[in-house]
C-alpha cells in the first residue's frame, strides 16, 4: 500500500459523494480513497445520514395534497383574509413585542434622529415583512385610495416610487406610529419573493443628510433625510444592490 | 401543460421539503401555501430562463429565511419526543432510535446548513440547482454541506475520536 498522502478534503469528498466531479477528478479521488480509511468511514456515515433523511422526511411527497394548496392555483388571484397562518402570526407578534421596546427606547433618546430613523425602519421591516396575510394595510390595487389616505395622515403629498425597473412591484402601504408623528411604510416584492420596504417618517430636525447605511446581520438599511422627511430603504441584500434601489427611489421622491 | 399545472406538479416535493424544514406538517403546509400564492402572483414576471422547480424552491427558501430571521434561537430546538414528523415507514426498534437521533441532530443544525442539506439529499437537487435556489456560490454550498454532515456525525456520536483525522495543513502550505 502506498504511503499516506494529502488527506481528502471535505470538498473533494462531498463532490465525490454527490457524483459532481468530472470523470478524471473522480478517478483520482477513488485512487486516494483506497488508502484513506478515515475518508471511507466518513462516506459510509454520510450514506447512513441520507438513508435516515429519506426515511424521516420522504412521506409528504407521496401523501395526497390538501385542497387548500391546490386551491391556491385554481383561484384567479390570491384572496386575502383566509385563516391566519399560525406560525407567521406568532412570529409577527413576537416581532411587535420587540418593536415596542425599540420604539420606546427611541422616544426616550431623541438625541440622534438619524439613528432613530434607521432603527425604526429596520424594526418596521422586520415586523411586517414576515406577515403573510396583512403585510400591508392598503394594497397597491387600491392605489388612488392608498395615496389619498397616506398623504392625509402624513400631512404631505405621498406617492410611492415605482421600482419596477429593478424588478420590485409595490404591494401596498401602511401607517405606523413614530416619535414625530405618523410614518409611512411601503412594501415591495420581486418575482423571487424577496421583499423590501421603504420607510418614511417626519423629522423634527429639518437638515438634509447624505445616504447612510445601518444594518442587523443580513438586513441592511440605507437612509437619508430630505426636506423634513426621513427615508429608509430596507432589505436583505448586498449594499450596492440596495444603493441602486435607493437611488431609484430618491430620484422619484425629489 | 399550463404553467399552473406545472406548478401543481411540484407541490409534493415542495411539501416534503417544507415539512422537513419546519419539522411540522401544518407549519410546512403554511409555508407551501405562502410560496404558491407568491408563485401565482408573480409567474408572469419570472425570468423565462431557468427551471420552474428552482424558482419555486427559491421562493419557498426566501419565505423560510424571512420567517426564521425573527424566530428565537430556542425555537429551533425540538425535544426528541416532540418530533411531529413520523418516519415514513416503520423501522425496527434499533433503527427507530437511530432515526430519532438523526432527526434531532438535523433539527439542531443552523438554518442555512439545513436548507442546503435537505435540498440536495431529500430533493435530489444537483449542486448547480441547489446553489441557484439558495442564491449562493457553488463553493459555499459545498462547504455548507460538508459542515452539515460533519456536525451531524458529531451530534450522533459517529466521529471516532480515537482515530484522529490526519493533520489538516493550516492555510498556506509552504511546499506548493
pLDDT confidence of residue B118: 96
CB contact under 8 A, B12 and A62: yes
Check if the beta carbon of residue B15 is closer than 8 Å to that of residue B29: yes
Q: What domains, with CATH codes, occur in chain B? A: 1-69 (1.10.1740.10), 92-158 (1.10.10.10)
- Greater model confidence, A216 or B123: B123
- Across the range A77-94, mean pLDDT stands at 37
Q: Examine the pLDDT at A196 and tell me if it is beyond 90.
A: yes
CB contact under 8 A, B67 and A60: no
A·B CB contacts under 8 A: 195
List where CATH 3.30.200.100 sits in chain A: 86-253
For B51-87, how does the pLDDT look when each residue is reduced to its tens digit (9 = 90+)? 888 899 999 999 999 888 765 544 344 333 334 444 4
Q: Which of A171-185, A212-226, B91-105 is the most confident on average?
A: A171-185
Which B positions 114-153 lie with beta carbon below 8 A of chain A? 117-118, 120-122, 126-127, 139, 142-143, 145-147, 149-150, 152-153
For A174-184, how does the pLDDT look when each residue is reduced to its tens digit (9 = 90+)? 999 888 889 99
Residue listed under C-alpha cell 401565482: B40
Residue A115: which H helix or E strand, with range? helix A113-128
pTM, rounded to two decimals: 0.56
Residue A215, SS3 per DSSP? strand
CB contact under 8 A, B163 and A15: no
- Greater model confidence, A101 or B126: B126
pLDDT confidence of residue B6: 87
Classified by CATH at the fold level, domain A86-253 comes out as Phosphorylase Kinase; domain 1 (3.30.200)
The ipTM value here is 0.77
CA-based nearest distance A57→chain B, Å? 6
For A113-152, how does the pLDDT look when each residue is reduced to its tens digit (9 = 90+)? 566 888 889 889 988 888 877 888 899 999 999 999 999 8
Interatomic CA distance for residues A18 and A153, integer angstroms = 57
Cα angle for residues A198, A93, A232 (degrees, 5° grid): 15
State whether residue B58 sits within 8 Å of chain A by CB.
yes
CB contact under 8 A, A60 and B152: no
Interatomic CA distance for residues A116 and B170, integer angstroms = 44
pLDDT confidence of residue A187: 95
- Across the range B132-144, mean pLDDT stands at 92
- Across the range A159-170, mean pLDDT stands at 92
Q: Which of A62-76, A221-235, B9-23 is the most confident on average?
A: B9-23
Interatomic CA distance for residues A130 and B174, integer angstroms = 50
Chain B residues lying within 8 Å of A52, measured CB to CB: 98-99, 102-103
CA-based nearest distance B165→chain A, Å? 7
For residue B36, what pLDDT band results from cuts at 50, 70 and 90? very high
Amino acid at each position: 500500500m502506498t504511503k499516506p498522502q494529502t488527506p481528502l478534503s471535505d470538498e473533494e469528498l462531498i463532490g465525490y459523494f454527490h457524483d459532481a466531479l468530472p470523470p478524471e477528478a473522480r478517478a483520482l479521488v477513488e485512487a486516494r480513497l483506497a488508502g484513506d480509511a478515515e475518508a471511507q468511514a466518513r462516506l459510509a456515515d454520510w450514506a447512513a445520514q441520507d438513508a435516515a433523511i429519506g426515511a424521516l422526511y420522504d412521506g409528504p411527497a407521496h401523501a395526497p395534497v390538501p385542497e387548500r394548496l391546490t386551491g391556491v392555483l385554481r383561484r384567479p388571484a390570491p384572496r386575502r383574509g383566509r385563516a391566519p397562518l399560525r406560525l407567521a402570526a406568532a412570529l409577527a407578534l413576537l416581532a411587535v413585542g420587540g418593536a415596542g421596546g425599540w420604539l420606546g427606547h427611541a422616544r426616550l433618546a431623541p438625541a440622534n434622529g438619524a439613528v432613530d430613523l434607521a432603527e425604526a425602519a429596520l424594526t418596521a421591516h422586520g415586523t411586517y415583512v414576515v406577515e403573510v396575510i396583512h403585510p400591508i394595510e392598503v394594497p397597491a390595487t387600491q392605489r388612488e385610495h392608498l395615496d389619498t389616505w397616506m398623504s392625509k395622515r402624513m400631512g404631505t403629498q405621498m406617492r410611492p416610487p415605482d421600482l419596477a425597473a429593478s424588478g420590485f412591484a409595490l404591494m401596498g402601504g401602511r401607517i405606523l406610529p413614530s416619535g414625530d408623528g405618523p410614518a409611512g411604510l411601503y412594501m415591495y416584492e420581486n418575482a423571487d419573493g424577496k421583499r423590501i420596504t421603504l420607510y418614511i417618517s417626519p423629522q423634527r430636525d429639518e437638515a438634509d443628510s447624505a445616504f447612510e447605511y445601518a444594518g442587523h446581520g443580513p438586513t441592511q438599511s440605507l437612509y437619508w433625510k430630505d426636506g423634513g422627511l426621513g427615508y429608509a430603504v430596507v432589505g436583505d441584500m448586498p449594499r450596492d444592490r440596495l444603493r441602486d434601489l435607493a437611488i431609484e427611489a430618491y430620484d422619484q421622491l425629489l | 401543460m399550463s404553467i399552473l399545472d406545472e406548478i401543481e406538479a411540484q407541490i409534493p416535493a415542495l411539501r416534503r421539503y417544507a415539512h422537513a424544514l419546519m419539522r411540522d406538517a401544518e407549519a410546512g403546509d403554511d409555508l407551501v401555501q405562502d410560496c404558491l400564492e407568491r408563485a401565482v402572483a408573480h409567474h408572469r414576471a419570472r425570468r423565462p430562463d431557468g427551471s420552474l422547480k428552482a424558482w419555486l424552491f427559491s421562493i419557498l427558501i426566501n419565505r423560510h429565511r424571512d420567517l426564521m430571521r425573527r424566530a428565537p434561537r430556542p425555537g429551533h430546538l425540538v425535544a426528541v419526543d416532540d418530533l411531529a414528523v413520523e418516519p415514513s415507514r416503520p423501522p425496527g426498534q434499533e433503527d427507530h432510535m437511530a432515526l430519532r437521533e438523526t432527526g434531532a441532530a438535523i433539527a439542531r443544525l443552523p438554518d442555512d446548513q439545513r436548507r442546503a442539506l435537505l435540498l440536495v439529499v431529500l430533493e435530489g437537487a444537483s449542486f448547480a440547482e441547489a446553489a441557484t435556489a439558495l442564491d449562493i456560490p457553488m463553493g459555499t454550498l459545498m462547504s455548507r454541506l460538508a459542515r452539515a454532515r460533519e456536525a451531524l456525525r458529531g451530534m450522533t456520536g459517529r466521529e471516532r475520536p480515537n482515530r484522529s483525522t490526519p493533520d489538516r495543513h493550516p492555510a498556506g502550505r509552504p511546499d506548493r
